[in-house]
Amino acid sequence: MIGWHAGDFHWQIGASLNIPGGAYEPGELSNVAFNRWIGDFFGAVTYLNKELGIELSAASGVILNGYNPATDYHSGTEFHLDVAAEKYLTPDLSAGVIASTYRQISADTGRGANVGPFKGRDNAVGGTVGYTFKLGELPITTRVKVLREFDVKNRPHGTVGWLSVSFPLWVQAKSAEAPQESINLTTRHFSRPPRAVAER
């Protein structure tokens, strides 16, 4: 993952890789592993105006799924886009709206694909609240997100909510002359946590 800044804009590009390791048993309701290679290549941009306390963010990516030899199934390529608009009510408290869309852009294939292409789609809108505080010298950031899904096809759907808590493992002592930032400038990837889907 690589990130950089240019004025009020903050950029990030990265990739994540799932390795086909761990226990996997065809037909089980839940498995530890996916039993296939999966690559997620994404980019994100944030516009943060500290004077107005406004943050606009977008993140998009493409997921490339590998072949599962245990089920003779190759899931299609997936696209996801997440956007957010937030207002900092104080330097530590923010609230805003979030939305996302997901599309499977190529069909599932293989002898195990006995229900056809099985392309999925998913859309969602909701809200988010973030709060940062210090425990001693340790900054802790908490965030609550709630999304309501609609226009869903071939995927689990409903209302999704989650709480995230993040903090650094180590904080460097600051000198008395060091400037203090009032707003955390970290570019965030707004993707929803993965929903469980049956290995098709």
Contacts of 122 (CB under 8 A, 6+ apart): 100, 101, 102, 149, 151, 152, 153, 155, 157
Low-confidence ranges of the chain (pLDDT < 50): 176-191, 193-200
> Is 48:185 a contact under the CB 8 Å cutoff?
yes
pLDDT of residue 174: 65
Listed by start position, the domains of the chain span: 2-125
pLDDT of res. 123? 97
Q: pLDDT tens for residues 159-176?
A: 999 999 999 998 887 654
pLDDT digits (tens, 9 = 90+) for 89-107: 999 999 999 999 999 999 9
**Of 146, 191, 197, 189, the residue nearest 10 (C-alpha):** 189
> Is 162:20 a contact under the CB 8 Å cutoff?
no
In this prediction, residue 177 carries a pLDDT of: 44
